């Protein structure tokens, strides 16, 4: 083939390709110019929402504190960021998890699925969590009839680790670590290691005898017995306690019931747990709120599977006066 003819054909092909490319670019620009600004705005919004969802789902998620169970570490309506990458994020909201070599450590603030939560269905859960993520936790459609948010996730502090035994003594925590013989008070352990978080109590030590008398009085009533006037009078102030220690009350009640009915296994078994504590098996942790007298935590629903831990609380971003790292 003649070189001139080849070069001519090559030039024609090249010009055709470039012409088609210029035409496509021109058409695209014209479409962009003619596009409704609302459609353009919506496309940008959807793109931004997609980016936010990816970040929230796999890296960092926004979360709003719904209760005072972590006071003073976290306050009601604090907005925080949770590190979801560290323990392995969910593949999709509520579906599976990506494996991670890291596990929750003692005294870390963690977020996990509420074992008491009753789902309204997978579709609702996904929609609710997407809205929650996109709005950085400011919009939550999962609410009770009263308007209060339904608590799908809980944020607490990891206190008991696998192999530990945790015991309650008038609201204070004693821990026997895995492989150890003796219990150590939680406050003493925290002091030795210079942990800076505060453990809040609403019950005073001098209020416990009154509360325990109230538990004994309840046992008299359960047995349909007439209680002594001394017990009735001693228990009367307990009615004014705003945040009574349920476990101390229940322990006193069960002690009387067990003494009156030693053959009843149901009293013996429940009393044994309150007296001997909770053993944390492998693959689980025992999370508790820092505000011990106003926290529904592992004392009520038991140790939590580490697979249900979704992330670690890291940073408060709202309100402005509360901005800072979470201890």
For the stretch 273-318, pLDDT in tens is: 899 999 999 999 999 999 999 999 999 999 999 989 999 999 999 9
Whether 246 is covered by a domain: the verdict is yes
The C-alpha angle 108, 110, 115, rounded to 5 degrees, equals 135
- Measured distance CA(306)–CA(313) in Å, rounded: 15
Q: What is the pTM of this model?
A: 0.79
Whether 247 is covered by a domain: the verdict is yes
- Measured distance CA(283)–CA(125) in Å, rounded: 26
**Is 28 a residue whose pLDDT tops 70?**
no
**Is 259 a residue whose pLDDT tops 90?**
yes
**Is 80 a residue whose pLDDT tops 90?**
yes
**Is 113 a residue whose pLDDT tops 60?**
yes
Whether 181 is covered by a domain: the verdict is no
Average pLDDT, the chain: 87
Whether 304 is covered by a domain: the verdict is yes
Residue 58's SS3 state is helix
Averaged over 195-205, what is the pLDDT?
92
* Together in a domain, 23 and 69: no
Q: 11: pLDDT confidence band, cut at 50, 70 and 90?
A: low
**Is 111 a residue whose pLDDT tops 60?**
yes
Name every residue whose Cβ is closer than 8 Å to that of residue 38 and which is 6 or more positions away in sequence.
none
Residue 195's SS3 state is coil
Owning domain of residue 247: 205-272
Give how many domains the chain has, as a whole number: 3
Whether 237 is covered by a domain: the verdict is yes
* Together in a domain, 136 and 67: yes
Which residue carries 């309150």 as its tokens?
A: 274
* Together in a domain, 129 and 80: yes
* Together in a domain, 259 and 289: no
Averaged over 196-218, what is the pLDDT?
94
Q: Residues 277-281: contacts with CB within 8 Å, 24+ apart?
A: 277/165, 277/166, 277/167, 277/168, 277/174, 278/160, 278/165, 278/166, 278/167, 278/302, 278/303, 279/164, 279/165, 280/160, 280/161, 280/162, 280/163, 280/164, 280/165, 280/166, 281/162
Q: Contact at 8 Å (CB) between 186 and 216?
A: no
**Is 77 a residue whose pLDDT tops 80?**
yes
* CATH classification of the domain holding 147: 2.10.109.10
**Is 144 a residue whose pLDDT tops 90?**
no
* Together in a domain, 108 and 245: no
- Measured distance CA(314)–CA(80) in Å, rounded: 7
* Together in a domain, 293 and 148: yes
Residue with more model confidence, 94 or 108: 108
* Together in a domain, 226 and 317: no
Q: 35: pLDDT confidence band, cut at 50, 70 and 90?
A: low
* Together in a domain, 230 and 253: yes
* Together in a domain, 102 and 147: yes
Q: How far apart are the first and last CA of the chain?
A: 80
Q: Contact at 8 Å (CB) between 198 and 70?
A: no
Q: 6: pLDDT confidence band, cut at 50, 70 and 90?
A: low
Q: Contact at 8 Å (CB) between 175 and 184?
A: yes
Residue 228 DSSP code: P
Q: Contact at 8 Å (CB) between 180 and 212?
A: no
**Is 1 a residue whose pLDDT tops 70?**
no
Rama region for 179: left / alpha / beta (φ>0; ψ in -120 to 50; rest): left
């Amino acid at each position: 083939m003649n070189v001139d003819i080849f070069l001519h054909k090559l030039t024609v092909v090249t010009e055709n390709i470039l012409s088609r490319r210029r035409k496509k670019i021109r058409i695209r620009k014209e479409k962009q110019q003619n596009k409704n600004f609302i459609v353009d705005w919506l496309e940008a919004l959807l793109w931004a929402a997609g980016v936010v969802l990816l970040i929230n789902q796999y890296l960092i998620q926004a979360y709003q504190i719904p209760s005072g169970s972590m006071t003073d570490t976290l306050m009601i309506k604090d907005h925080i960021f949770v590190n979801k990458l560290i323990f392995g994020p969910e593949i999709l909201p509520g579906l599976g998890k990506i494996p991670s070599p890291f596990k929750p450590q003692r005294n870390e603030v963690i977020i996990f699925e509420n074992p008491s939560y009753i789902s309204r269905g997978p579709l609702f859960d996904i929609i609710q969590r997407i809205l929650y993520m996109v709005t950085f936790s400011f919009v939550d459609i999962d609410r009770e009839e009263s308007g209060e948010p339904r608590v799908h996730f809980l944020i607490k502090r990891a206190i008991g680790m696998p192999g530990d035994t945790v015991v309650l003594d008038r609201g204070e925590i004693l821990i026997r670590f895995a492989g150890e013989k003796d219990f150590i008070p939680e406050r003493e352990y925290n002091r030795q290691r210079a942990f800076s978080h505060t453990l809040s109590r609403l019950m005073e030590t001098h209020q416990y005898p009154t509360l325990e008398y109230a538990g004994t009085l309840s046992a008299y009533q359960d047995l349909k017995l007439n209680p002594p006037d001394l017990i009735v009078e001693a228990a009367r102030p307990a009615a004014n306690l705003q945040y009574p220690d349920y476990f101390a009350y229940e322990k006193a009640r069960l002690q009387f019931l067990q003494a009156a009915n030693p053959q009843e296994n149901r009293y013996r078994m429940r009393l044994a747990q309150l007296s001997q504590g909770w053993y944390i098996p492998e693959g689980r942790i025992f999370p508790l709120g820092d505000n011990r007298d106003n926290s529904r935590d592992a004392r009520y629903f038991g140790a939590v599977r580490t697979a249900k831990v979704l992330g670690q609380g890291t940073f408060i971003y709202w309100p402005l006066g509360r901005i800072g790292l979470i201890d």
